[in-house]
Structure 1
Amino acid sequence: MDPQDFKDLLNRYATDKCAPDEQREVERLMLKYPLSKNWKWKSELHKDRIKNNMRKQIFNQVDRDLGKHIRRKSYWMTAVASLLLMIGISTFFYLKIHKTINDEQVIAEAINEIYNDVTLTDATGRVTVLKNKEQILDLRKLSTQDSKWNPSGSLNTLRVPSLHQFALVLMDGTKVRLNAGSSLSFPTQFTAVDRTVTLKGEAYFEVMPNHSKPFMVNAKESQIKVTGTKFNVAAYPADPRIITSLIEGGVAFHINQKQYPLKPGYEIVADGNKNSVEMKSFDQDQVMAWIDGYFVFNNMDLVSVMKHVAKWYNISVTAPRKVPAKRIGGTFPNTASLDDLLKDLELLSGVKFIRKGKEVQVVY
């Protein structure tokens, strides 16, 4: 039987639309091949969610059949339920459950982190783990203290894992603070005609003025050009948006061969999925709260809230495609445990969270 025809047959059986001969064929195959031994799951939470849904669907089907052909169908459904309870997961309701899973949205996905501490990889490939040290690295001091520090213009990379943030002072005196799950690549010395760094994630910059050598931040497909200013850039790889928020001074945002000048109190939001660039005012307290160790949610929708939470704790989050429209407000320390934060958000949002390790499911 063609694989697609077989899927269609299973789907008809799951929805009680099989002809008698088709029903007998499905039941024969269920006895012959009761389990899928090579089933690949996205996660344990995904596996348990399907398992619970399958059990629910099986017993619902049994209940529906009691008033009809109870002996025949009930026997088969109960047999499959027994297999499910004793051994694990069968392939029986795959299509029906797959449809249920597709009704969910993935808000965030955890990333694999090699190190649990901040690391500095120099131009030679040497990795230094910055553990139990001050939460700031001044490259001007490092160049005099470490004889192995490469004085060339080659690139170095500072990486900050989840649950951390870290401050860096570049050789020109520019101050950079990196948020969790972020990295910054930079030359040891700014020997080129400009001062260019590359950001993945989120960082706050206080650029040392130098009109003859502008400071450039490469973030995804964009470039931010400044001479001396204070601004925040959020450009996480998993987020289609690049958000540049200007606190003080002036910057020029470049993307798709177009330039967008920005003034203090405004931000540029470039959305790669929508192919749009929007300029708007922003809430400085909310944007800058991460530097002081807080989440600030000012009338923010639940999906946006969970995206912020996921970046800090490095968790995967799934939710129904239609989540409650209620907005959330409040200030929360990011030093709290994830479980404590989720409890607070449950009270404010009216939803429930199911957590298994780094996987969180929104239910309501």
Structure 2
Amino acid sequence: MPNDPARIKYLLERYAARSCSKEELDELFAAIRETPAEASLLAFMEEQYGRFDANETLPEVDYEQVYQNILQHKPARQRKIFTLGRVAAAAVILLAGAAIFWQVQKKTSTPSSSIQAETSKTDIAPGGTKATLTLADGSTVSLDSAGNQVISSGSTTITRRQGQLLYDAGKETAALQYNTLSTPRGGQFRVVLPDGSKVWLNSASSLRYPLAFTGKERLVELDGQGYFEITPNAEQPFKVRVQSMEVQVLGTHFDVMAYKDESTVNTTLLEGAVQVTEGAARKLLKPGQQAVLDTRSHEMLVQQANVNKVIAWKNGLFVFNNMALPAILREVARWYDVEIVYQTAPSTELYGGGIARSLHLSNVLALLEAGGNNHFRIEGRKIIVLP
């Protein structure tokens, strides 16, 4: 009974709990292939994943590993569910561990088959764990997720382990020394600072920090986007300098987005308290709030934040909440290290939903085609936006 909504919901719940038998998994994949199952599939995704306005954060999941596990264990005869039809595309995202509930402000159209046909030889893989560490003496070390490594910087020992850097601060020195961790377009990385604070860097970002926090404050400098989990120390407040703005915190979880190609600098608080200062403007944030600084007018406002959207990148997702196409493509361009070329004006519909960052670029573009009027072509490392 593949088209029974109650049965499909039961199978999806079993799958989400990783308790499906082989027979139930076969039945689920068969159901997803059937167009009448669309309503049940989308309803389940809305119920389980669509409430992106909630303040609860999504759990950290290795989406790439989940996706590969699914590819290895799914029944071979069901391969065609990974085509780019509307329901199948949604199923790809759901079964990749991410989930999508595609709500667009117009009727959904069928995605163009030209993307897959024209990009079969030039498709672009998603970004990954990679960065460059610049040491105090100016030397650089390339970093990725493979293997372990021990790096010495003065009296400080730095360990690269499982895609992150761990600092073991040595004795304080008279001269304050700094390291800079930089991620390229298409890369992200994590670092545990000398005080135990954790920082996740998004693509095309950098963090400059001392090898030891001395004095009355802990000051780091951010360019791009970073998510912070700060070790509390009331005697030594933690500060993040971003362009002309400063964020002061006392033991908290927050995200700062400060890309130079964006018109605002956004500071979003998840837990604790932060004070955001720019010139004479000063805002104190509560959990769930976001300070938005206009980089041209230097006006700052505080608004309620869509927390899950803000930190979706950290959890392996693109999440859109009434976003226009150009803003979405800027995120996509940074993760896939591509250039956006407009051969026509972008369509004006607004997108809502989520896409796994572990998908290849052609799959992401096909989903965007399904929800709007624009079409896309990949040429080398360029996305061409077409009518």
TM band (smaller chain):
0.5 to 0.7
CA 1:276/1:320 → structure 2, altered by over 3 Å: closer, same or farther?
farther
Q: Which runs of 5+ in 1 are unaligned?
A: 1-115
- 1:327, CA displacement in angstroms? 1.4
Instruction: Give 1:164's match in structure 2, choosing from 184, 187, 192.
Output: 187
| SS of equivalent residue, structure 2 residue 137 | coil
Instruction: Give the alignment of 1:306-321 within 5 angstroms.
Output: 306-319=329-342
| SS of equivalent residue, structure 2 residue 366 | helix
* Alignment partner, residue 164 of structure 2: 136
* Alignment partner, residue 259 of structure 1: 282
| Alpha-carbon distance in structure 1 between the residues aligned to 2:180 and 2:294 | 26
Of the structure 1 ranges 223-232 and 256-265, higher mean CA displacement relative to structure 2 is found in: 256-265
Instruction: Give 2:293's match in structure 1, choosing from 253, 258, 270.
Output: 270
* Alignment partner, residue 239 of structure 1: 262
- 1:150, CA displacement in angstroms? 8.8
CA 1:322/1:245 → structure 2, altered by over 3 Å: closer, same or farther?
same
Instruction: Give the alignment of 1:139-218 within 5 angstroms.
Output: 139-140=167-168, 143=169, 153-218=176-241
CA contact (8 A) 1:123 1:150 kept: no
| SS of equivalent residue, structure 1 residue 139 | strand
- 1:151, CA displacement in angstroms? 9.5
- 1:320, CA displacement in angstroms? 6.6
* Alignment partner, residue 384 of structure 2: 361
Structure 2 length-normalised TM: 0.59
Instruction: Give 1:339's match in structure 2, choosing from 358, 362, 366.
Output: 362
Of the structure 1 ranges 207-216 and 161-170, higher mean CA displacement relative to structure 2 is found in: 161-170
CA 1:178/1:212 → structure 2, altered by over 3 Å: closer, same or farther?
same
Of the structure 1 ranges 210-219 and 319-328, higher mean CA displacement relative to structure 2 is found in: 319-328
- 1:326, CA displacement in angstroms? 1.2
| Alpha-carbon distance in structure 2 between the residues aligned to 1:157 and 1:291 | 20
Of the structure 1 ranges 120-129 and 273-282, higher mean CA displacement relative to structure 2 is found in: 273-282
- 1:330, CA displacement in angstroms? 2.2
Of the structure 1 ranges 209-218 and 125-134, higher mean CA displacement relative to structure 2 is found in: 125-134
* Alignment partner, residue 281 of structure 1: 304
Q: Which runs of 5+ in 2 are unaligned?
A: 1-128, 148-161
Over alpha carbons, which structure has the higher Rg?
Answer: 1
CA contact (8 A) 2:338 2:381 kept: yes
| Alpha-carbon distance in structure 2 between the residues aligned to 1:152 and 1:344 | 52
Amino acid at match of 1:125: G
CA 1:150/1:317 → structure 2, altered by over 3 Å: closer, same or farther?
farther
- 1:186, CA displacement in angstroms? 0.2
Amino acid at match of 1:168: V
- 1:213, CA displacement in angstroms? 0.8
CA contact (8 A) 2:341 2:385 kept: yes
| Alpha-carbon distance in structure 1 between the residues aligned to 2:356 and 2:246 | 32
- 1:202, CA displacement in angstroms? 0.5
Give the superposed CA RMSD: 2.2
| SS of equivalent residue, structure 2 residue 362 | helix
User: Hey, which of these two has a bigger chunk of helix by percent?
Assistant: 1
* Alignment partner, residue 244 of structure 2: 221
CA 1:358/1:150 → structure 2, altered by over 3 Å: closer, same or farther?
farther
| Alpha-carbon distance in structure 2 between the residues aligned to 1:216 and 1:262 | 15
- 1:152, CA displacement in angstroms? 5.4
**Matched length:** 244
Amino acid at match of 1:138: L
* Alignment partner, residue 325 of structure 1: 348
* Alignment partner, residue 34 of structure 2: none
